[in-house]
Amino acid sequence: MVPETDFIVVGSGIAGLRAGLELARAGAGVTVLTKDRREESNTEYAQGGIAVALADTDEVSLHEEDTTSAGAGLCDERAVEVLVEEGRWYIRELIEWGAEFDREGGRLLFTREAAHSRPRILHAHGDATGREIVRALLARAGAERKISFLAHAETESLIVQDGRAVGVRYLDPLVRAPRTLLARGVVLASGGAGALYLHTTNPAVATGDGMAMAFDAGAELADMEFVQFHPTALNLEGAPRFLLSEALRGEGGVLRNAAGKRFMPRYHDAAELAPRDIVTRSIVAEMERTATRTVFLDMTAFDAAYLRRRFPKIYSTCLGFGLDLARDPVPVSPAAHYIMGGVRTDLEGRTSLPGLYAAGEVACTGVHGANRLASNSLLEGLVFGARAGRAAAQDLAVPHAAAVGTGATDDGGPGATAREDLRRMSAAADAVRKRVRRLMWERVGILRSRASLTRALSEFEQIARAPLRTAPRNFLTVAALIARAALWREESRGAHFRVDFPARDDGRWRVHSIIQKDAGISSAETVEFAATVRQ
């Protein structure tokens, strides 16, 4: 007998947890599958905070304007309205559930980040906002008897029957044997794909599996060319690419070149507070101009006591690598951070594949356009995670029959010979990932061209000819989707920069890229984006 549940949620970040809570509120049983421990997600590593127009000096309309301005002409206006308006309510709910955001004199404390016109960033414990949100949501989920977690279960593919998503195949967390789980519907909240790049701020689990699974099952993906690179990741030999939050520059940190000279005012009027894509490319240009591999983030104008209080995690991490944030400019350079594209959804999380819903970084609602505004991602996961859960519960209140004979094995695990085969395949998978990451960084990275993208796709095709297990093939699939979309878009917009087409071209390219298996790439007008996904 193949196990069944009412709904499957893939991923336990902010979007997955909020979707699961909404499903449980509707009385449905929910199984949450996570690739690692249930706390491990991009949400947990979010430092800077969550943007919301709750301050006395702020307005929803200003938050909306800042979001659409950063999105470089590709934001879906209705999606942005939903984000900034409903976000206020969901943040208040999160506080009611026990999330402890930083306060001063009992009042919520807001800070400002790049491209925001007002201080509207809530943070928790200085620079541990994501961790606090996950803590609060997990505590709430733990009180729900309808929600169960299956940790260390790597989801590999969707089960589709009669044109509907009816379950998932995953690897058993104990014996690494394939398993099948059936449900009325599936909510993908599996996060982004930063780990496809050699240098990234993302955890190792951010490999784009949900995007690959949806694509292979026939769902539409959108805007895959738009990958945001965070300008300031720790650039120290032997150290991980630890994120140095946007909030550091929001508080007054400045960027200096290897000669100690501040350089951002030469590149943009807003200097360090320019949009992320501009700061990132400015750093690349400055490193090229000075023939160096790093620039420096300078916070030495602030005393140590303030920095320890405001940025405790960043301060202690830098100190662990011999850098005192109050005395030492910190070497930084860009790293892959966030993907604006993903599984195409409407405003309720519905995808083009019936039974499949998506929310968070794995999804593309059109809310971020070509370039995400800083600290909008957590808000998006919160708002659209709830919407996706609610829509799934309403749409699929009556169970759909699902076939049991799906072909997935459900045995006791591999024997000795099979285990040796698994070890060999694992080594081969590691080699594939290493090669793909380097190709993505060098040829599908911050600066792109027809030559670099064509070369990357050619090499991806060569890699694909080898026999690969599902996980590395998913990894390769998403890499190729990003490269294909980047080659298709012959302009520069937001986070996507083509050195051979350096100008933004609204006449031809103010459209979303839509990609579907066996159908190539097409386009959708911005005003039609969310309205055209229907079950």
Cβ–Cβ under 8 Å, residues 120 and 305:
no
Distances (CA, A) of 143 to 132, 148, 223, 485: 17, 11, 37, 43
502 burial via Cβ count (<10 Å: 0-12, 13-18, 19+): exposed
Looking at residue 22, its amino acid is E
Determine whether 276 is an active site residue: yes
Pairing of strands 107-108, 178-182: unpaired
- The answer to whether 150 touches 361, Cβ cutoff 8 Å, is no
Contacts of 205 (CB under 8 A, 6+ apart): 35, 36, 40, 41, 191, 195
Task: Classify residue 329 by its DSSP letter.
Answer: P
Distance CA 15, CA 385 (A): 4
Q: For residue 136, what are the β-bridge partners?
A: none
Question: DSSP states of 503-523 as a string?
Answer: S--HHHH-EEEEEETTTEEEE
Catalytic residue among 140, 276, 310, 433: 276
Cβ-Cβ contacts under 8 Å for 12 (sequence gap 6 or more): 32, 34, 38, 39, 40, 41, 134, 138, 149, 189
Q: Which residues pair with 520 in a beta bridge?
A: 516
Task: Find all residues with CB under 8 Å of 17, minimum gap 6, and list them.
Answer: 32, 134, 137, 138, 140, 141, 385
Which of the residues are catalytic?
276
